[in-house]
Amino acid sequence: MLRRQKIILALLDRATKPLSQTMFVKLAFLLRQETEIGNDTTYYGFVPYHYGPFSFALYRELEALVRKSYIVKDDDGLHLDPSMAAETRRLVADLPGTAQTAIDHVSSRYGSKAQKTLLRDVYARYPWFATKTERKDLLPATMPLSPSATPAVYTIGYEGDSIDGFFDRILRTGIRGIADVRSNPVSRKYGFARSSLSGIAKKLGINYRHHPELGISGVHRAGLNGFASYQRLLDQYERTMLPRQTVGVAALAEVVRSEATALLCVESDVRCCHRSRLAVAIAGVSGLPVIHLE
């Protein structure tokens, strides 16, 4: 079992009563924000959503633990399944001492608070994550303005990021649309296949479009083994593939002119991704500058 999943079990193990899903997610969020667990790059990321900080990845893994009978989700809330008590204790005990201390800290400081009180406290101290909440009555008097990206040809890669961390970057930049320029938008990493990516984008108010004709097929990617090989492929893309896609380039140029949109692909290093060359072509048509998001 993954370390972050053991942390989920430990949070429920420390709880003195069943937790609502909203309460549980906020405690998981506070672990990230206020303890050493936040230094773990494999731990859950969070985005602003209906009741403040939310994690799509956390919800997915929570449901998996329910299906495996580690956790019960019923009218009372979330709690550990007694039939798995021995196995759960073994998994929780396997966590390092620093993680145990972090979980104890968050559980003792926040676990007994009423949900409304905890939400108000989280919103006050982490207002960015409250910018999409439906509980407007709990917001602090001063809230950050929702950012709005200036017109440009933005690009972004998701390699090394979680789906929640990725969308938090998008939202903080003020991007309103994603142009997926992968030829084949599949991914073994949760959230980045076309169906799930477009679904999460819609929930967060981000427009998603797929432009497969502007990607590079897997056939051409075979054998890539270093920076030089990537450059040869990108030179070929710029020289022979892009010139055949003038209609697609013009259409995407129109999109980025009308709405702050990021060209999405896999590689974190834009120098090894075709979006770098595509962005230049779109900039030439749209007259906008190119901005590669880190």
Question: What are the tens digits of pLDDT across the range 33-81?
Answer: 999 999 999 999 999 999 999 999 999 999 999 999 999 999 999 999 9
53 forms bridges with which residues in the sheet?
48
Residue 49 contacts residue 76 (beta carbons within 8 Å): no
The whole-number pLDDT of residue 294 equals 81
pTM tops 0.85: yes
| C-alpha–C-alpha distance, residues 95 and 86, integer Å | 15
Q: Does the pLDDT at position 96 exceed 80?
A: yes
DSSP code, position 190 = T
**Whether pLDDT at 224 is above 90:** no
Say if residue 222's pLDDT is above 80. Answer: no
Q: Is the dihedral of CA 189, 192, 195, 198 positive or negative?
A: positive
pLDDT for residue 217 is more than 90: no
Contact criterion met (CB below 8 Å) for 220 and 204: no
Give me the helix-helix angle, 163-173 and 194-203, nearest 10°: 50
Residue 220: the pLDDT is: 77
Q: Pick the closest to residue 238 from 184, 280, 272 (CA basis).
A: 280
**8 CB-contact burial (10 Å; exposed 0-12 / middle 13-18 / buried 19+):** buried
- Distance separating the N- and C-terminal Cα atoms of the chain: 31
Lowest-confidence segment of 140-144, 163-167, 228-232 by average pLDDT:
228-232
Mean pLDDT of the residues in the chain: 95
Lowest mean pLDDT: which of 3-17, 112-126, 133-147, 208-222? 208-222
Residues of the chain with CATH 3.90.190: 153-292
pLDDT of residue 18: 95
Q: Where are the alpha helices (DSSP H) in 126-270?
A: 163-173, 194-203, 218-221, 227-236, 246-258
Phi, psi of 139 (to 5 degrees): -75, 145
pLDDT (mean) for 176-201 = 96
Q: Looking at domain 153-292, which of 3.30.2120, 3.90.190, 3.30.1490, 1.10.10 is its CATH number?
A: 3.90.190
